[in-house]
Structure 1
């Protein structure tokens, strides 16, 4: 085929009519366009709905220290004293008071404020027969872990593997710690070793003498204050002791109403007075009794707590405590219906324990103020000995269950009855005047 023939064939194919191109079918004139559906993200998992009771427990939480200064009811003076002495005057501190008085809450708020001022604040819990070295090793770990710490790990490791005393630790802290540091030691009252207490007192004294940047703040009960300074009387000028006593009725009433307002509950004045006086100065017991009153109001579908609801709450609180602390409850209950000469010393012992950090034999004898008071008090202390823990200070005790005193006083003053919901009338008037004198009632 010639070139011209090939060209003619190609030109012919090019000029031939082409079949129409296929296209997508057109919609019928009356067919509506399909709506455009925008992308929707899958819905987030639904948050669980908290029950009303869960909210009540959270608001009246008795198991956790308060988390902010606003919740530290009635403790402004104690906080200011602690801040001034430890942060401004570089003293050591001892916070002491009855269980449930708010010691740990006070120490936590103090620690937060010290942290805001640039201090390194470290916490530890004491226990039992712990040795001095074991008590302070956790602090050494934390100090060495600080990014700007001048304490070398090799120095810490040497102390981790062998015993050390107060002088060796004080030398290390005074020489190597340049940042203001506060060592918080909670539950110091649990330390039983007199040797550990003596070494701690020596450490405080040495740190002060060496003008160290480290201060120690212990939290415990009053009986341990004398234990701590017994061997170092001169230590007194290097520390501040901050007692955390019972709150006033006014402060307790304000705390109760503040908690209730958060859950949209109101309370009558007589019901508030019942709960406040039952707490005997303790913010812990105030929250506990307030919680049970709020729960009873919730069960009844009421928005106002009256006297009957408050009493019902106290009764339920007692019943639940008795279920978990049967030995303590039964021994105290056995004293309720005994003759006045027996029951009254038991009540004053419980009052002493509730309003202070410990039971003091001589104070109870003075408060009883009756012929043969010493014999009556000694007999009752012997009766209650199975549920008391004797302090290393002669003549001083604490209840093994710190809730026990307030519950016994509820029974003694006939705010609740031992076997039912009806309140009785009996020897309660013997203690009311004493409670009034001590500011525990309104």
Structure 2
């Protein structure tokens, strides 16, 4: 397990040793906390508390070990092969890339206001705000009694989340170049958007846009400044991992937080072992790739990968305060096409990821910091990123973000063309 995650973390930085390689730096805490630290805590915990058997751990290890070899070869091949796929990605970026950064920034305030209005409509329409709901965790995941209230406003709520993260990045860019009144407006909108995101209780959403901006921005700073930022990012991530423990302690419903709460906040290893034991012991059949499009079916379809992980362990999505389990790529391959899927899915995913890393390296050469931020933090994750993750499932949120970003850049280029 540690070998697979270590390889997944280190291969990108070995191929491209640069501060601009945010693929590597942004994934440091997502590997160290749940897998490297979590391995020592949760494997024993899974045995004692959930009865995970040794042979399940062995199968889990074999799946990840097979994934290691597939990942390394495919990623390296993808990075160095400038084939037709690479050229098509370049063409897409050339078509959508704004000819003038200012054109993109002009409509930023309007985009932010749209997001805020959508949040207000969603909160009023649903009749609750997750952060102030009676059952905070159920409201966060829109489960239990909150599920029916959420259904009619799912599109507006999810659109608000997507547009808010995009707006935060653009507002931060504009904040850096704006003056006087415009700077104050940008700052005010950023604060309001962060508050709106915080009210959703989704930790990954709250500062996603802020960190996407900062990683790209700090890549242009001195090494010691960038290094200090990465360390700070890791510490903040650790604090966020223990966020629930701190929250419940502050409202008087939990004990004083401990260091182990950081690890407990990301029980990925334990979840995966429990899931795999149910999958094997109960004789579940491979999905045959239905999880690729399952995320496009709303409201807990059995083809949705996140929902499937809950169905497998005997839990009905929507009735529990959980969004499902995060599975590593090789394990997704295993449940999709059995053992051949471990190689197939890992290879395709790694190859496409290698192509994208090479694309980022080439396409961001000699760019200004503003251009780099837009390309690295918005365009590639939103437009090209979904293609790299196609084997792990396409979600409604990913499609919404893709549509918003493509429309934004097409409108900007259209205005410039006919000016």
Q: Given the two structures, how large is their TM-score scaled by the length of structure 1?
A: 0.24
Considering fraction of residues, name the structure with more strand.
1
Kindly indicate whether structure 1 or structure 2 has the higher relative contact order, using CA contacts under 8 Å at least 6 residues apart: 2
Work out which of the two has the higher radius of gyration on C-alpha atoms and give 1 or 2. Answer: 1
Considering fraction of residues, name the structure with more helix.
2
Q: Given the two structures, how large is their TM-score scaled by the length of structure 2?
A: 0.25
